Amino acid sequence: MLKSKRIAIVLMAGLMSVPSLGLAQEAGVPVDTKGHWAEQVLNKWSASGWLKGSGEGKIWPNRTITRAEVAALVNASFGFNTQSEAVFKDVKPGRWYADAISISAQAGYFQGTPDGYFRPDEPVTRQELAVILTRLLALTPQDPPAQYLDTAKAPAWSKGAVGAMAASGVMIGRASDSFDLTATSTRAETVVVLDRALSKFPSEPGPTDPTPEVPAAVGVTGTVAGSGSEPLPDGVLELTASGGKRHDIQVRGGKFAQELPDGNYAIDSYVIGKTRLKVGVSLTVVSGKSDRELKLTPVANAIGSVTYADGKAWGNGNLVLTQTSPTKQIVEISVVNGLFAGQLENGTYTIGKVEDSSSFIPIMKTLTVSDGKVTDRTVLQLKAPTATNTVQATWADGSALPSVALIVSPQGSDAALFLPIEKGQTKLTLNDGDYVFTGYMLESVQSLVNLKVPFKVKDGKLIPDPAAVLDGRAKADPFTVLLPK
């Protein structure tokens, strides 16, 4: 096992004070674990302080876990606290996960990419989690059991770790014949397998409550897809039993399988991150089996993807839209592994950007919803731009500017992107199309000055309109916006 300084934590009723995470919960008890299959171990980890949640008392057990979150959980539970001298390009000092990632690199269970990135917000797949645990426990890699058919095509870097996990009993398959290598792991699943690892391979006494098994893939089974059979992001089905008890079912790769007690249920919603889609289907379970194979189609008219030019999925975060008519409002749709699904009201929207916890990428596309349908569904297949341009700004006479924010919009759209410029220049990444700088705001004045400086983006490069001499103008090489005083 990797060297650990984990200190035993003894949970003693009445002797341990845990601050309340929210008004709606008992002290130390998260509000979103009741009825969850991993309720006992989640509450134990929350009380120990290893599993952190929100100020509202939620720990989001069904949310996909990220690399940064895994690092924080492992460090806390295994007692790692020595930081490394490694520097990752995408881990900024001061971010909540900066210390955790540095510690994980020193401990050796996490590694960055050859070009110096860590990818803190990237989800962790089950095969990646198997590799992490095999390193943590210093287990010997071995061939996976033949019963897991999908492991026959497992990559060399994970195959031995999957076998080691199966042999140790720390991780089991999601079905009797599948390990589900590439499915993302949830926060609950990760806590359960870490708890099981500490129980099976203790270096010092830790929490001793029994660890629940991940439910086997039997009982209630089915699929979740869009109305046109489009794939939907991984998420959680929310069910309500006839007696009022809440149940959650994990959906991975459009499929689900879980045991439920006999009774009648209403499948209320499909939850993707922060996005909740209506389902409205009834279900009856008799002798542990559903009365039918479920093929669920949540109510969603905005189903699409965000990918880079090479086809790689963008990742996890939010798609931010501005509804420009008939009302003006900001709408957010969660993106999971590059896929998104939401329900939009009739109107005109501009897709402004996709963002994660540390950065954003402009999209600047327009879509229209009429009679409950997106009129041009190709708009929803979003391409995240990768080419980055340097943009300079000066006064028209060439003199230097103080700190300023340029406002850029697609031609014919009210959507705006504020582009801060420090020391005369900044970086800008946009998809190909027609745009216009519509104004600027000096930091010292905080008042908007209107502009009209059109330009194009072609093959990722910013090109000024040479014929446009309106309220201001732009020139190329380097691309420079000349502002009137």
Spell out the CATH class of 302-384.
Answer: mainly beta
Which residue in this structure is represented by tokens 């924010």? 405
Task: Name the residue ranges covered by the structural domains of the chain.
Answer: 38-200, 220-296, 302-384, 388-483
- H, E, C per residue of 434-472: EEEEEEEEECCCCCEEEEEEEEEEECCEEEECCCCCCCC
Cα 16 from Cα 447, distance rounded (Å): 53
Tens digit of each residue's pLDDT (9 = 90 or more) over 144-173: 988 888 888 888 889 999 999 988 888 888
Report which of residues 400 and 207 the model is more confident about: 400
> What's the gap between Cα 51 and its chain centre?
18
3-class secondary structure, 44: helix
Tens digit of each residue's pLDDT (9 = 90 or more) over 341-363: 999 999 999 888 888 766 778 88
CB-based contacts of 31, cutoff 8 Å, min separation 6: 21, 22, 24, 25, 56, 57, 58
Residue 15 has pLDDT above 90, yes or no: no
Tens digit of each residue's pLDDT (9 = 90 or more) over 376-385: 888 899 888 8
> What's the gap between Cα 485 and its chain centre?
43
Contact 282, 294 (CB under 8 A): no
- The fold of the 388-483 domain, in CATH, is Immunoglobulin-like (2.60.40)
Residue 291 has pLDDT above 50, yes or no: yes
Tens digit of each residue's pLDDT (9 = 90 or more) over 178-205: 888 888 899 999 999 999 888 877 654 3
For 74, the enclosing helix (H) or strand (E) is helix 67-78
Encoded tokens for 459: 């093959």
Phi–psi pair at 152, nearest 5 degrees: -60, -30
Tens digit of each residue's pLDDT (9 = 90 or more) over 227-276: 988 899 988 898 998 888 888 887 888 888 877 888 999 999 999 988 99
Residue 208 has pLDDT above 70, yes or no: no
Residues β-bridged to residue 286:
289
Residue 456, Cβ density class (10 Å: 0-12 exposed, 13-18 middle, ≥19 buried) = middle
pLDDT at 54: 66
Q: What is the mean pLDDT of residues 218-224?
A: 81
Count helices and strands (H / E) in the chain: 6, 25
Cα 25 from Cα 31, distance rounded (Å): 5
CB-based contacts of 39, cutoff 8 Å, min separation 6: 33
Q: Up-side HSE of residue 337: CA atoms within 13 Å toward CB?
A: 19
Highest mean pLDDT among 114-123, 170-179, 333-342: 333-342
- The fold of the 220-296 domain, in CATH, is Immunoglobulin-like (2.60.40)
CB-based contacts of 235, cutoff 8 Å, min separation 6: 62, 224, 251, 270, 271, 272, 273, 336
Contact 451, 483 (CB under 8 A): yes
**How would you list the strands of the sheet with 263-272, edge to edge?**
246-251, 235-241, 263-272, 275-286, 289-290
Judge whether 220-296 and 388-483 match in fold.
yes
Cα 282 from Cα 240, distance rounded (Å): 10
The length of the chain is 485
Closest-CA residue to 249 (of 283, 203, 292): 283
pLDDT at 368: 94
Cis bond upstream, residue 326 (ω within 30): yes
pLDDT at 55: 61
**Residue 297 pLDDT level (bands cut at 50, 70, 90):** very high
Greatest CA separation for the chain: 82
